[in-house]
């Protein structure tokens, strides 16, 4: 690993208060350093913009459900192929690219870190195998614990200490980065009560003496006590349902000042006409944005919708089943014992369709109403709201008012009337704000201190864009991408391939908890307790991010 | 005078010759045609390594030789005319939108998959998946005509949304499976499970056939549209009789597991013939 | 316990797709034999106990003994020079080896295909048409109160499917095991599996599609032609009763075998069954699952899918993955005489492919990796002897329900693993080609 | 005389255990060279357990020994054989654009074989 000097570029490094100043960025042994000797290679970045590598806080790129979504759509790969070169592997694209194509395409957009957002514990080993074959970018995953039968049993018996130890064990055993809640309580009704679903936070969860409210509160508390870098990642109940914004606000209130991240909130910001839940949804983006603006403990990613082909893939099985009525021919459902559900539907968002246009507008509203870019960050919930390949266009929609107005004129106008988008259409994001919502913000929310910034000691993940009035063009193809100090892309071409690291946590727990878990495993799981934890060799380039338990320090 | 392209060296492994299409060769001199790129297995090659080229490209191309290992001939073809004197390989006229291909011999699997327009006439037999959808796609042929004088394999016209597939001989299993619309005419015998999952569209057969339990007899009548379709097919070389043009036909509706708006028409006298036998 | 004896708990059997991970192996280290395999079924016991190293050469080139290095050189020369090579097999090796095999196919611009294409490949094609409602085996164990086995004989092919996962085990919501479940078996003949069924439905050969199609109509309340009785040999009342049971159960499962896929109708038989399971979700929770064969055929599907986007039959000759069963599947490549070389890993096509395919295998240079001598290794130009996964080699294997499990080998083998041999071949091919073979032309 | 019957290829646990030992061994070979047949069909054809029969399909022919099964287990007109090098000789190569050759429910012509003829054919 050599030395590198990037000179003459306008640097955007919000974490260090640098917003477009022309200054040098120096790299040595994979890290940002204060200076390098004169003999170091210099990249002439005059007329270019220098930013930390992009950080995707929430996407679906690896693991069991992603692979099912790949397998089920040969027609989506056929028209978007990825040729091999002397040094890089071939692959296929579409809304769910093959692993190699995923790594290369993220890097080619200037992204150097991405978090897979929903993995069943039983699927952790599979996910790590796919991440191993996802080159260049650093990555990690969130593990699904919000419908875990054993954790529910500990909760309903009031065994909160053991619940916390069990959660810590599960995070470590699966090499996860953070706990993920998806439609808490929904799976038990889906699997056990003829495809029913949870609709209220205070509804009893099937056979358990528990409600979603109790479950969510318990996870927020335990995760904060464990001092996780990213305490808990929440996909609220009632996703996609008309009138769901009330559920979303109620859930946010449960945090009570403690840290919690709420994901793809665009899908959770729907109102209804005079409380009629059957009618077309309306926009409640303003209510949601205002709550986030005024609650510094809350962070969120938007989950914007972009028109065109997408694949709805979620642990929220009842949702996918609902979409099946609009979606089309293929529906995949995959239940995981004791842990989760999963649903997959190929889906196309159309600008003329009321609901789709409203979802598009709400995504933009949330961005434009946000007063703190550090806490309302960028995502399309790839590939649910749209592929990560649409990020450059979404950036242009935020930065270019005229382009946005022109796009607004093309969509279903009834939907636009229902949204508040016209009221906030004057705002334009600055390059510095873009650097925050696509890099610095996600890194800070994730607790990845070496990412999303270019201060001395940070990871040398750097993206260099050629300035262009057309921001979609500018962000679609950076001139240089440096990953961990390696010049991976030069003049838009891959010059080398690097593996990328896996980030995970390993919180401490009372070993005694295993005596509680093992009998349950032998009774109800179909693999042995001893064969459940994932061995270190599945994460060959692992970085364990330390936790700061409450009361410790 | 047209362009004559004759095989001089049969390929050792499959040859993908997308270049063999009137639009791609328009205005090229023989030596330029000979330099057109083809893919021989995993390696780049030129047409000239396998074919001798003569004449001038005036929109009509004549191919000579055993092309059964040559794939994708006329793929994406949008106009002009191509006559193949001999057998031809897979994906003939794949996704074509216009023009005409005539094969004086047999054709491999996937004749005109997902085509949107134009006409393909096969004087011999064709393989499986004639005018079909590709795996994973719900929609197959979107327009155009495929006429096979001989027999065809399985899944002819699968997922067709618009267009015509006509077969002089027999059809294999699952003809018109998942048919969305469009017409399939089979003068010979139908294979098993014809029209399984069809939503709309018409499948016509001149021979008795055992249909799925989800098809129901509706009526016997003389369809007017056949008096337009069948003489047209006769002009294209199918041995259509006056009796077939005039009917009567039994109308079976299905598929009940789907929309149930499709129909299978069976020529009455064909059925009579069965009872006699 | 003597020095030379070792006990390996929680070991995994990779003989069939059940991939049971509760073996307790007793190993005689001195004679390199497994003397006891606790919890193993009849097939598993044979798998472990018959495993011994007959003293085979590390490699054969044209029937002559050779070192692994010499064989790697010859194999690399064949693969680097081939214009339309096929890499086939992969169902009885680790995911780690499968990854390298796909990398080789990509690098040389060949085709990669697995035994899936002659196993549940048609179910994979059906999946791409209609999707699938499915579940991990533990959900069936803990919840299923109705289980329908279709076109399979688990008692002889997957013995512990009944005892560990699907029929007899007690589950969270079926505390009395079999007493709490209704088991239906549909097949063309009685087998050792039949006695497990509460209801046995014997269908005429080649009528599974008609039976499934009639059930779909009945479930949807649509009319069914009574002629279905003659066609299928099953009374309409029997079908009506089954449809009613399926609609009214709490959690139903359809487990199907190759009686559907290897039969006239192929992918449409599987598709009809998958569609039936999907239809039933309008009324209750219903899942379907193909019962997969070889130990890691499911891993092969997963690895090929995540690396290429397609599950099997993937061709790289134009520089990117293309999927087309019938064009790029191994039986077709051989029967049509198109493949000009074959790298066959942990599989024996010469024993189960159609005659015409086997004849072409005899005409082209074949490279095999296998722990044992087989009819295929006997016709190979280059035959490697490799260590056995799960017994001598660690790694990852996917159970038939996509659950990945890490292997715990019992003892060392003198032979290299498939992964080691394939990695050596890949590296040698790379140096012969100077990197990946460049695509012949831009994407069409 | 010859009759058309339906041949089903499949797995058996005997085959499973035998191939663990060796696919080149006598036991495996013998297992794969035995066809199960309905007893009434055998009687009609003048066959007893272990007699030799010729099976002929569109793709090829083989000579195997037969083994009787009751009607309740194996209906008349149905034959069962374990997969292997022998049954594959009867499989046609056409996969109908699926990749899968048909190995279950093949139409085969069944014909008794006079032992002496079998010897000369090396059956």
- In this predicted model, what pLDDT tens digit does every residue of A259-310 receive, in sequence order? 999 999 999 999 998 756 677 899 999 999 999 999 999 999 999 999 999 9
Contact D97 B154 (CB under 8 A): yes
Q: Which of C256, C245, C238 is nearest to C283 (CA)?
A: C245
- Contact present, B150 and B125 (Cβ < 8 Å): yes
Interface of C with B in 226-255 (CB under 8 A): 226-228, 231
Q: What are phi and psi of C186, to 5 degrees?
A: -115, 125
Q: Could you tell me if B134 lies within 8 Å of chain A, comparing CB atoms?
A: yes
Helices and strands in chain A: count of H runs, count of E runs:
19, 28
Contact B138 A74 (CB under 8 A): no
For residue A466, list its beta bridge partners.
Answer: A48
**Mean residue pLDDT across chain A:** 96
- Counting as contact any 3 or more CB pairs under 8 A, the partners of A are B, C
- Counting as contact any 3 or more CB pairs under 8 A, the partners of B are A, C, D
Condensed to tens digits (0 to 9), the pLDDT of residues D104-113 reads: 999 999 999 9
Per-residue confidence (pLDDT) for residue D89, from 0 to 100: 93
Size of interface C-D (CB pairs under 8 A): 159
Which residue from C minimizes the CA distance to A536? Answer: C406
User: CA angle at residue C288 from C287 to C289, to 5 degrees?
Assistant: 130
- Count CA within 13 A, CB hemisphere, residue A434: 26
For residue D67, list its beta bridge partners.
Answer: D36
Distance (Å) from the alpha carbon of C378 to chain D's nearest alpha carbon: 10
Condensed to tens digits (0 to 9), the pLDDT of residues D65-100 reads: 999 999 988 999 999 999 888 999 999 999 999 999
Q: Which of B263, B256, B261, B237 is nearest to B169 (CA)?
A: B237
Contact A87 C302 (CB under 8 A): no
Interface of B with C in 167-196 (CB under 8 A): 173-174, 177, 192-193, 196
Rg (alpha carbons) of chain C, rounded to whole number: 23
Per-residue confidence (pLDDT) for residue B277, from 0 to 100: 45
- Contact present, D13 and C47 (Cβ < 8 Å): no
Residue A359's contacts (CB-CB under 8 Å, 6 or more residues apart) are A266, A267, A305, A349, A385
Q: In which residue ranges of chain B is pLDDT below 70? A: 1, 270-277
Residue at token pair 């978090």: A115
Which residue from A minimizes the CA distance to C430? Answer: A86
**Residues of chain B contacting residue D97, judged by C-beta atoms under 8 Å apart:** 109-110, 127-129, 153-155
- How crowded is residue B149: how many other Cβ atoms within 10 Å of its Cβ? 20
Size of interface A-B (CB pairs under 8 A): 14
Rounded Cα–Cα distance for residues C354 and D93 (Å): 6
Q: Which helix (H) or strand (E) holds B185?
A: strand B183-186
Q: Identify the burial level of A264 via C-beta atoms within 10 angstroms of its C-beta, where 0-12 means exposed, 13-18 middle and 19 or more buried.
A: buried
What percentage of residues in chain A have a pLDDT greater than 70?
98
- Counting as contact any 3 or more CB pairs under 8 A, the partners of D are B, C
- Judged against a pLDDT cut of 80, whether residue A551 lies above it is answered with no
- Judged against a pLDDT cut of 80, whether residue D119 lies above it is answered with no
Bond before D57 cis per omega within 30 degrees:
no
Rounded Cα–Cα distance for residues B72 and A117 (Å): 42
Residue C18's contacts (CB-CB under 8 Å, 6 or more residues apart) are C158, C159, C160, C161, C164, C165, C399, C400
- Contact present, C123 and C159 (Cβ < 8 Å): no
What's the pLDDT band for C412 if we cut at 50, 70, 90? very high
Distance (Å) from the alpha carbon of C352 to chain B's nearest alpha carbon: 24
**Residues of chain C contacting residue B72, judged by C-beta atoms under 8 Å apart:** 444
**Residues of chain A contacting residue C439, judged by C-beta atoms under 8 Å apart:** 83-84
**Residues of chain A contacting residue C432, judged by C-beta atoms under 8 Å apart:** none
Per-residue confidence (pLDDT) for residue C427, from 0 to 100: 98
Per-residue confidence (pLDDT) for residue A360, from 0 to 100: 98
Per-residue confidence (pLDDT) for residue A1, from 0 to 100: 56
- Judged against a pLDDT cut of 50, whether residue A440 lies above it is answered with yes
Q: Which of C48, C101, C11, C91 is nearest to C308 (CA)?
A: C101
Can chain D be said to touch chain A, i.e. do they have 3 or more Cβ pairs within 8 angstroms?
A: no
Per-residue confidence (pLDDT) for residue D31, from 0 to 100: 87
ipTM for this model: 0.96
Q: Across residues A68-78, what is the average pLDDT?
A: 97
What percentage of residues in chain C have a pLDDT greater than 70?
98
- Contact present, C199 and C243 (Cβ < 8 Å): no
Rounded Cα–Cα distance for residues C372 and C52 (Å): 10
Tokens of B85: 């004197």
DSSP C54-88: ----SEEETTEEE-HHHHHHHHHHHHHH-SSEEEE
Q: Are strands A502-504 and A276-283 parallel, antiparallel or unpaired?
A: unpaired
SS3 B85: strand
Per-residue confidence (pLDDT) for residue A279, from 0 to 100: 77
Distances (CA, A) of A541 to A3, C255, C363, C434: 22, 39, 45, 27
Per-residue confidence (pLDDT) for residue A33, from 0 to 100: 98
Contact C83 B193 (CB under 8 A): no
Interface of C with D in 270-299 (CB under 8 A): none
Q: Could you tell me if B137 lies within 8 Å of chain A, comparing CB atoms?
A: yes
Query: b/e map of A389-409 (b: 16 or more CB within 10 Å)?
Result: bbbbbbbbbbbbeebbeebbe
- Count CA within 13 A, CB hemisphere, residue C165: 28
Condensed to tens digits (0 to 9), the pLDDT of residues C206-222 reads: 999 999 999 999 999 99
Q: What are phi and psi of C326, to 5 degrees?
A: 100, -30
Q: Identify the burial level of C179 via C-beta atoms within 10 angstroms of its C-beta, where 0-12 means exposed, 13-18 middle and 19 or more buried.
A: exposed
**In Å, how far from its chain's centre is CA C73?**
30
Interface of C with B in 102-131 (CB under 8 A): 108-110, 125, 128-129
Per-residue confidence (pLDDT) for residue A327, from 0 to 100: 62
For residue B15, list its beta bridge partners.
Answer: B40, B70
- Contact present, C167 and C195 (Cβ < 8 Å): no
Distance (Å) from the alpha carbon of D1 to chain C's nearest alpha carbon: 24
User: CA angle at residue B198 from B193 to B200, to 5 degrees?
Assistant: 140
Condensed to tens digits (0 to 9), the pLDDT of residues A454-497 reads: 999 999 999 999 999 999 999 999 999 999 999 999 999 999 99
Which residue from A minimizes the CA distance to B134? Answer: A75
Q: Across residues A501-528, what is the average pLDDT?
A: 97
Between C55 and C423, residue with greater pLDDT: C423
Contact B216 C213 (CB under 8 A): no
Condensed to tens digits (0 to 9), the pLDDT of residues A239-273 reads: 999 999 999 999 999 999 999 999 999 999 999 98
Q: Which of B201, B194, B125, B191 is nearest to B163 (CA)?
A: B201
Distance (Å) from the alpha carbon of C261 to chain D's nearest alpha carbon: 8
- Contact present, D69 and D19 (Cβ < 8 Å): no
Q: Which of C153, C73, C35, C142 is nearest to C411 (CA)?
A: C35
DSSP A474-512: HHHS-SEEEETTEEEEETTEE-------EEE------TT
- How crowded is residue A84: how many other Cβ atoms within 10 Å of its Cβ? 22
- Judged against a pLDDT cut of 90, whether residue A122 lies above it is answered with yes
Residues of A with CB under 8 A from a CB of B: 72-76, 78, 328-329
């Amino acid at each position: 690993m050599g030395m590198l000097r990037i000179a003459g570029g306008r640097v955007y490094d919000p974490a260090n208060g640098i917003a477009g100043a022309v200054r040098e960025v120096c790299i040595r042994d994979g890290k940002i350093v204060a200076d390098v000797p004169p003999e170091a290679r210099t990249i002439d970045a005059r007329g270019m913009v220098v930013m930390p590598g992009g950080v995707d806080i929430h996407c679906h790129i690896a693991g069991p459900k992603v692979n099912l979504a790949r397998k089920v759509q040969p027609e989506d790969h056929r028209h978007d192929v990825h040729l091999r070169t002397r040094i890089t592997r071939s692959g296929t694209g579409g809304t769910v690219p093959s692993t190699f194509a995923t790594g290369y395409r993220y890097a080619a957009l200037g992204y150097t870190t991405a978090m897979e957002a929903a993995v069943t514990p039983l699927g952790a080993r599979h996910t790590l195998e796919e991440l191993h074959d996802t080159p260049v970018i650093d990555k990690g995953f969130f593990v699904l614990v919000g419908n875990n039968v054993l954790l529910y049993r500990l909760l309903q018996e009031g065994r909160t200490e053991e619940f916390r130890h069990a959660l810590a064990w599960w995070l470590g055993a699966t090499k996860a980065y953070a706990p993920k809640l998806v439609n808490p309580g929904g799976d038990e009704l889906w699997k056990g009560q003829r495809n029913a679903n949870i609709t209220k936070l205070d509804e009893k969860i099937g056979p358990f003496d528990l409600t979603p409210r109790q479950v969510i509160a318990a996870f927020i508390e335990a995760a904060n006590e464990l001092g996780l870098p990213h305490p808990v990642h929440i996909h609220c109940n009632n996703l996609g349902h008309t009138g769901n914004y009330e559920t979303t606000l109620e859930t946010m209130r449960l945090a009570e000042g403690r840290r919690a991240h709420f994901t793809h909130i665009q899908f959770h910001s729907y109102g209804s006409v005079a409380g009629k839940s059957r009618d077309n949804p309306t926009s409640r983006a303003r209510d949601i944005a205002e709550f986030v603006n005024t609650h510094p403990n809350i962070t969120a990613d938007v989950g914007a919708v972009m028109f065109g082909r997408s694949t709805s893939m979620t642990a929220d099985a009842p949702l996918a089943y609902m979409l099946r009525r609009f979606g089309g021919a293929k529906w995949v459902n995959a239940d995981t014992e004791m842990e989760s559900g999963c649903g997959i539907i190929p889906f196309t968002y159309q600008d003329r369709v009321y609901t789709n246009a409203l979802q598009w507008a709400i995504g933009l509203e949330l961005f434009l109403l946000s007063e703190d870019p550090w806490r309302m960050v960028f995502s399309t919930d790839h590939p649910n709201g749209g592929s990560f390949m649409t990020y450059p266009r979404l950036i242009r929609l935020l930065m270019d008012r005229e382009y946005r107005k022109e796009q607004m004129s093309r969509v279903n106008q009834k939907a636009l009337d229902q949204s508040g988008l016209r009221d906030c259409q004057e705002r334009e994001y600055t390059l510095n704000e873009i650097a925050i919502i696509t890099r610095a913000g996600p890194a800070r929310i994730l607790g990845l201190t070496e990412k999303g910034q270019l201060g001395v000691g940070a990871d040398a993940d750097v993206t260099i864009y050629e300035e262009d009035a057309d921001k979609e063009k500018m962000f679609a193809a950076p001139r240089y991408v440096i990953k961990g100090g390696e010049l991976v892309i030069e003049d838009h071409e891959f010059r080398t391939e690097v593996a990328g690291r896996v980030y995970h946590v390993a919180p401490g727990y009372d070993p005694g908890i295993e005596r509680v878990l093992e009998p349950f495993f032998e009774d109800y799981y179909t693999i042995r307790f001893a064969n459940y934890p994932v061995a270190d060799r599945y994460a060959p380039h692992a970085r364990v991010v330390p936790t700061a338990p409450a009361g410790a320090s | 005078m047209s362009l004559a392209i004759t095989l001089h060296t049969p390929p050792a492994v499959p040859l993908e010759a997308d270049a063999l299409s009137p639009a791609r060769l328009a205005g090229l001199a023989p030596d330029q045609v000979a330099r057109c790129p083809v893919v021989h297995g995993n390696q780049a090659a030129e047409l000239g390594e396998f074919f001798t080229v003569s004449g001038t490209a005036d929109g009509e191309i004549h191919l000579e030789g055993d092309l059964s290992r040559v794939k994708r001939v006329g793929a994406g073809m949008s106009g002009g005319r191509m006559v193949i004197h001999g057998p031809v390989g897979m994906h003939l006229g794949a996704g074509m939108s216009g023009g005409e291909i005539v094969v004086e011999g047999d054709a491999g699997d996937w004749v005109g998959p997902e085509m949107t327009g134009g006409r393909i006439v096969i004087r011999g037999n064709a393989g499986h998946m004639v005018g079909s959808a590709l795996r994973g796609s719900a929609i197959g042929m979107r327009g155009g005509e495929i006429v096979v004088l001989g027999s065809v394999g399985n899944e002819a016209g699968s997922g067709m949304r618009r267009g015509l597939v006509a077969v002089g001989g027999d059809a294999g299993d699952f003809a018109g499976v998942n048919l969305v619309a469009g017409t399939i005419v089979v003068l010979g015998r139908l294979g098993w499970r014809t029209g399984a999952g069809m939503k709309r569209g018409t499948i016509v057969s001149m021979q008795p056939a055992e249909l799925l339990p989800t098809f129901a007899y509706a009526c016997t009548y003389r369809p007017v549209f056949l008096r337009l379709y069948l003489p047209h097919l006769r002009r294209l070389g199918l041995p259509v009789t006056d009796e077939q043009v005039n009917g009567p036909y039994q109308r079976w509706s299905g598929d009940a597991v789907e929309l149930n708006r499709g129909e299978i028409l069976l020529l009455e006298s064909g059925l009579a013939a069965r009872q006699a036998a | 316990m003597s020095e030379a004896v070792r006990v390996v708990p929680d070991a995994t059997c990779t003989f069939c797709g059940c991939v049971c991970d509760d073996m307790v192996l007793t190993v005689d280290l001195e004679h390199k034999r497994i003397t006891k395999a606790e919890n193993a079924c009849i097939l598993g016991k044979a798998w472990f106990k018959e495993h011994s190293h007959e003293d085979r050469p590390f490699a054969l080139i044209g029937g002559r003994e050779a070192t692994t290095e010499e064989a790697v050189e010859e194999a690399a020369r064949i693969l680097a020079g081939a214009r339309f090579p096929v890499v086939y097999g992969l169902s009885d090796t680790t995911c780690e080896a499968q990854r390298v095999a796909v990398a080789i196919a990509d690098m040389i611009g060949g085709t990669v295909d697995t035994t899936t294409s002659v196993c549940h490949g048609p179910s994979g094609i059906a999946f791409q048409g209609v999707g699938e409602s499915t579940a991990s085996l533990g959900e069936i164990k803990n919840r299923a109160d109705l289980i329908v086995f279709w076109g399979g004989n688990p008692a002889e092919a997957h013995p512990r499917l009944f005892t560990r996962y699907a029929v007899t085990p007690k589950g969270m919501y079926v505390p009395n095991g079999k007493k709490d479940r209704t088991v239906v078996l549909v097949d063309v003949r009685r087998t050792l599996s039949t006695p497990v069924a509460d209801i046995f439905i014997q269908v005429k050969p080649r009528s599974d599609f008609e039976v499934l199609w009639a059930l779909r109509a009945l479930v949807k309340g649509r009319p069914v032609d009574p002629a279905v009785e003659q066609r299928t040999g099953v009374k309409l009342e029997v079908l009506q009763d089954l449809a009613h049971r399926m609609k009214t159960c709490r959690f139903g499962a359809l487990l199907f075998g190759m009686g559907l896929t290897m039969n006239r109708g192929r992918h449409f038989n599987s598709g009809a069954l998958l569609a039936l399971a999907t239809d039933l979700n309008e009324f209750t929770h219903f899942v379907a699952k193909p019962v997969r064969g070889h130990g890691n055929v499911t891993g092969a599907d997963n690895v090929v899918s995540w690396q290429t986007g397609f599950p099997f039959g993937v061709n790289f000759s134009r520089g990117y993955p293309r999927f087309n069963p019938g064009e790029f599947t191994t039986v077709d490549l051989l029967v049509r005489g198109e493949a000009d070389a074959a790298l066959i890993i942990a599989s024996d096509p010469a024993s189960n492919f159609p005659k015409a395919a086997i004849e072409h295998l005899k005409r082209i240079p074949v490279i095999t990796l296998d722990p044992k001598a087989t009819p295929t290794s006997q016709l190979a130009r280059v035959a490697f002897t490799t260590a056995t996964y799960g017994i001598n080699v660690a790694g990852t294997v996917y159970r038939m329900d996509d659950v990945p499990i890490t292997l715990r080998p019992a003892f060392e083998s003198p032979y290299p693993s498939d992964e080691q041999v394939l990695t050596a071949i890949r590296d040698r091919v790379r140096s012969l080609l100077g990197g990946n073979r460049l695509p012949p032309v831009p994407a069409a | 005389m010859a009759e058309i019957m339906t041949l089903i290829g499949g797995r058996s646990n005997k085959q499973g255990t035998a191939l663990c030992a060796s696919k080149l061994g006598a036991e495996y070979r013998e297992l794969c060279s035995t066809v199960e047949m309905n007893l009434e069909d055998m009687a009609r054809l003048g066959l007893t357990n272990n007699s030799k029969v010729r099976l002929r399909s569109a793709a090829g022919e083989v000579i195997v020994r037969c083994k009787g099964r009751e009607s309740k287990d194996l209906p008349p007109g149905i034959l069962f054989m374990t997969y292997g090098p022998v049954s594959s000789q009867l499989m046609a190569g056409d996969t109908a654009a699926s990749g899968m050759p048909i190995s279950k429910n093949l139409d085969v012509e069944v014909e008794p074989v006079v032992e002496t003829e079998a010897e000369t054919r090396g059956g």
